[in-house]
Structure 1
Amino acid sequence: MSDFVTFTNEFGQTVQMSREDYQKKVIPANLDRYWDDKDKLRDFAMELAKEQFNEEAASAADRLLELYGPIESALIFRAVVHMQAKEFERAKTILINCLDRFPASGTACTNLAKIYGAEGDEAKAFEMLETGLFKDPNQENALNLYAQAFVNSGRKDELRRRLETLSSKEGAWRPKLHLARLALTEENLLKAMQWYREAIEGTKDRFEVVMTVTGELGQAGYVYQLIQICEEYWQPEFPYPYAGFNYANALLATDQKEKAIAILRHMQDHLADNYKPMVDHFLARIPGAAEAEAAAVQKVALEQAENPAHKKSWWKFWKS
């Protein structure tokens, strides 16, 4: 645990402060300020839990239960704060109550599994983890724990079978990411790409999965497959630039500098203002990018002078 806390103050500035000062000066003021604002208090409480200010997080969690009532997320958050303080019996009681109220809660099962694991009951922990995944197969943390348990014991074939069972459930897409990763470790690229595509096509918010898939393909060195995924699924309208950066890196690695610059500029048009400078910083690190962009702009200007009907931005011409 760090001796300092980094946070954003009310003026939008990033501030670093010692834990002691933060605990004395910031936490009481913010708790007082947000005490009757359930949304802001929830966000602050999550920060308190993340930074392991357990006593203050507990106070906020109790207040959230008052404000929201015993809804699933408020009950689970209260249990998690108990878990961080190693108050396992109290956490267990809340999670069992949560399951009584919300029988479909996979997250409650996963947190119960963590408690059983901390208590040394590995068999019960695994059983509860699997139960939670059958309720909600898209839990990222639960799937990571589940997959690691099989990998650690050398049971990859059994893991594959169980992931395939989970992936067959309606709406399940995250198990397919794990199946793709498993295929990559076995150098079965064709199968990995199949699972990656199925994972992307099974989600509503594709931008998150495309970002994950392109990151994994890039790290594995499969740049042509990364480009293939982007040409099928990437959109310049995605709210975050990271998949676009992965796409651009792959294009640069395959000597397609002009196209990389084009997709970055096209993406920049659609990004929120706080992300736009990231594109400029990315471009500044590409050798010869400024010259290539200037040449492309000049080329398009000449083409538009010859044919005034074409009024596209220069970076859209690479699609033609």
Structure 2
Amino acid sequence: MSFIKKIFSGRSNKKNKQASKEVEPSDVKKTETNANEAVSSDAESQEALIKVHDEYGREMQIGKQEWLNNVLLGNLDKNRDNPDELYNLIISALNDGFEAHIQDASARLYEIDPIKERGACIHGIVLMKNKQLDEAEKVLKETMSIVGQSGVLLTNLAKVYAERNEHALAETVLWSALEADPNQDNGLDWYAVIHHERRGEAAYIEALRKVSKLPGAWRPQLWLAREALKKGEKQVALSFYEEIFRILQQPDSQVLQQISGDLGQSGHIQEIITVVLPHFVIEHHGFSVANNLIKAFVELKRYPEAKSLVEALFAYNRPDWKEGLTYWMTELDNLMGDYGPVEDKEPPKLALMPVNQPIWLHKLNATEHIIPQKSEKPFTILTTSGSCSIAENHDQSMKQKTNEEGSICRGIALSFCDKLNMESSAQASMLVPIIEDAGFVFFGQRYEESWATQLVNHSPCDLIILPHLYAESSPWKLELRLFDPADTSLVKTITKEFSADKPSQALKELIEETYHYITDNYAINIADSSPNLAQISPQLFAHYVDANEVCLALSLACNVEDGASTLYGERNIFDKLLTLALEEPNSDIHKLMLVSAMSKNKAYGSTIYQEYEKKVKKLVATQHSGCDTSKVLEKALCDIYGNKDEEDRLGVPTS
């Protein structure tokens, strides 16, 4: 199978004999599957895990038995008078193989559902799953006596007869069901597979053609179009699609997903856009259809349109879409970016971005009490982004978005400055090499001593530190060289080795050892502050270093034109900071990092911060913070999102 065929997903018409009403469950916290998918066996349902999302959008998995006992049964009882929610819960339970536990709930739905056909079908299916065929037949027939012989009711009645091995009667009733509604998915699939199993592919196609001649039929044409594409008859398929859209004014997600998937697997990428896009509405069709449209845009190298669609989908804050959207945003960042070696023909404008306070206080107000006050002439320490020796060494500078090596090289310097600024009388600053209006500069060779001289000339200091990361082979080694700025003589070299996948302990020890060396050997007093690095779990220290570098990247975005273009996956950044704040509830630093990130996002003109409003406000409201930190956070939230309570009190209209 070609790459083109692999990447496009279309709904399969595997001959599924399950006869249930086509449903589209509403968005609930549990990740749903479509009701028409095969239900797992009891054994599978007990062993498998259920994917759920918590109120912060984090994906979690719990055992099915735990889900049944602690979530599902309680929700069924809680929603026994809410037919729509009860319906969704029952569909979910069927897909998870819990039919033995939902008979009372389905009976209740049958009793209260104002959509009689829906309640009867679901109750009938549950009864069939529990081998109560006579009761299922009774429910379906009683409902037909009230609402008439609808296609879906007749299909499920045919299913009852098939379960009794009354196949001739089942086929007669099934045809009546198709005459009543030739577009019901399950009934059509079942009818077609019967003929395929008897006489092969030709009979399958003839069965579809027969149903397509019934008044109002459009779904058979969907399958006939697929068969035409398999034969290379594109125009025939397009004619079928035109016929479908003449009949079907508002196609559902299954229809558009199948059309886009079939066209994609046949290599007709442009036709996906021309045929499907005019009918696509995010609210109705969601990610399943959008995914194929994004793939088509990417294949056609129409990257801005793909990115616009991804951004529009992100705005819906659907946890179940997030993984796919994050993948596409990362891919598009890579495809649209121009990051790499700096071209010699256009010499870059190198600049040094100063960082004089914790980068996670940037764009926050009223932060004067967070860091201990310094004297008029404190002992000053200057550092810079680390240079790095990597496996494929670079002789030239690199213009760079964040990667693992760059994150450590910049993050360790920021974190060391945090330690000194929060826990000593010294003033620690960092000069970050950047390309003007672009990104960070990554030095692929160890700094010469002359670089220390250049930095001192830019910013006079009492001590200068040059970091370097050796990442050519495992283990990695991080080195801090301390220089006397008077003559740039080497004073001390401190190093730590570590595994690239477990750097936390070594990074923490390196900062601590350097901090103690400086405070022991220079006129620096120990200070105390809250927040401080002691609040950060040792096993998560590398995440703090990485998050520090992320905050630096956001600050850079605030200071350059089109700041978002300097970043990889903004939502990945915010999710990372949110997760850290949740996992480190005792760390005020991580809360400040998260909230400052929202402020920076707003400052460089993005609107993504709005998607995180409820999550960030909830976290700040429910996690304890120090008094000074709380004041900063509360002020920041008002600055970012506005004081909604005050607006309500004054009667200020909101959009």
TM-score by length of 2: 0.40
- Which residue type is aligned with residue 92 of structure 2? E
Among candidates 75, 87, 91, match of residue 30 of structure 1: 75
In structure 1, the partner of 2:275 is: 229
**Does 1:247 pair with 2:293?**
yes
Among candidates 101, 107, 126, match of residue 171 of structure 2: 126
Among candidates 338, 347, 350, match of residue 291 of structure 1: 338
Q: Matched residues in 1 for 2:75 and 2:289: separation?
A: 35
Quickly say closer, same or farther: Cα 1:233–1:21, change in 2 above 3 A. Answer: closer
In structure 1, the partner of 2:32 is: none
- Which residue type is aligned with residue 296 of structure 2? A
Q: Matched residues in 2 for 1:9 and 1:244: separation?
A: 22
Deviations along 1:13-59, one digit per CA (max 9) or x if unpaired, are 65433333333333342233223333322222222222232343101
Q: CA deviation at 1:269?
A: 5.3
Q: Which has the higher strand share?
A: 2
In structure 2, the partner of 1:220 is: 266
In structure 2, the partner of 1:153 is: 198
Secondary structure of 2:144's partner? helix
Q: Matched residues in 1 for 2:286 and 2:120: separation?
A: 31
Are the equivalent residues in 2 in contact too, given 1:76–1:108 (CA < 8 A)? yes
In structure 1, the partner of 2:317 is: 274
In structure 2, the partner of 1:318 is: none
In structure 2, the partner of 1:106 is: 151
In structure 2, the partner of 1:305 is: none
Secondary structure of 2:50's partner? strand
Bigger RCO of structures 1 and 2 (CA < 8 A, at least 6 apart) = 2
Are the equivalent residues in 1 in contact too, given 2:183–2:217 (CA < 8 A)? yes
Q: CA deviation at 1:288?
A: 2.8
**Does 1:79 pair with 2:124?**
yes
* Structure 1 unaligned residues grouped into runs of 5+: 299-320
In structure 1, the partner of 2:307 is: 265
Quickly say closer, same or farther: Cα 1:30–1:206, change in 2 above 3 A. Answer: closer
Among candidates 37, 48, 67, match of residue 4 of structure 1: 48
Q: Matched residues in 1 for 2:121 and 2:283: separation?
A: 34
In structure 1, the partner of 2:225 is: 180
Q: CA deviation at 1:6?
A: 1.3
**Does 1:206 pair with 2:255?**
no
Are the equivalent residues in 1 in contact too, given 2:182–2:211 (CA < 8 A)? yes
Q: Matched residues in 1 for 2:141 and 2:283: separation?
A: 42
Q: CA deviation at 1:100?
A: 2.1
Are the equivalent residues in 1 in contact too, given 2:174–2:187 (CA < 8 A)? yes
Deviations along 1:92-128, one digit per CA (max 9) or x if unpaired, are 2212222222323111111122222222233222222
Deviations along 1:63-105, one digit per CA (max 9) or x if unpaired, are 2233236822111111110111111122122122222223231
Are the equivalent residues in 2 in contact too, given 1:264–1:279 (CA < 8 A)? no
Coordinate RMSD, CA, aligned: 3.3
Q: CA deviation at 1:247?
A: 3.4
Deviations along 1:179-215, one digit per CA (max 9) or x if unpaired, are 2123234333321221123223432323623332011
Paired residues, number? 292
Q: Matched residues in 1 for 2:153 and 2:72: separation?
A: 28
Secondary structure of 1:17's partner? strand
Quickly say closer, same or farther: Cα 1:69–1:190, change in 2 above 3 A. Answer: closer
Secondary structure of 1:191's partner? helix
Quickly say closer, same or farther: Cα 1:106–1:207, change in 2 above 3 A. Answer: closer
Deviations along 1:129-177, one digit per CA (max 9) or x if unpaired, are 2211111111112111222222223354554444344334444221110
Q: Matched residues in 1 for 2:293 and 2:68: separation?
A: 43
Secondary structure of 1:120's partner? coil
* Structure 2 unaligned residues grouped into runs of 5+: 1-43, 340-436, 438-560, 563-655
Q: Which has the higher helix share?
A: 1
- Which residue type is aligned with residue 195 of structure 1? F
Quickly say closer, same or farther: Cα 1:34–1:212, change in 2 above 3 A. Answer: same
Q: Matched residues in 1 for 2:81 and 2:232: separation?
A: 54
Which range moves more in the overlay, 144-153 or 234-243? 234-243
Secondary structure of 2:249's partner? coil
Which range moves more in the overlay, 115-124 or 71-80? 115-124
In structure 1, the partner of 2:620 is: none
Secondary structure of 2:338's partner? helix
Secondary structure of 1:206's partner? coil
Are the equivalent residues in 2 in contact too, given 1:180–1:195 (CA < 8 A)? yes
- Which residue type is aligned with residue 250 of structure 2? D
- Which residue type is aligned with residue 48 of structure 2? F
Which range moves more in the overlay, 130-139 or 236-245? 236-245
Quickly say closer, same or farther: Cα 1:87–1:14, change in 2 above 3 A. Answer: farther
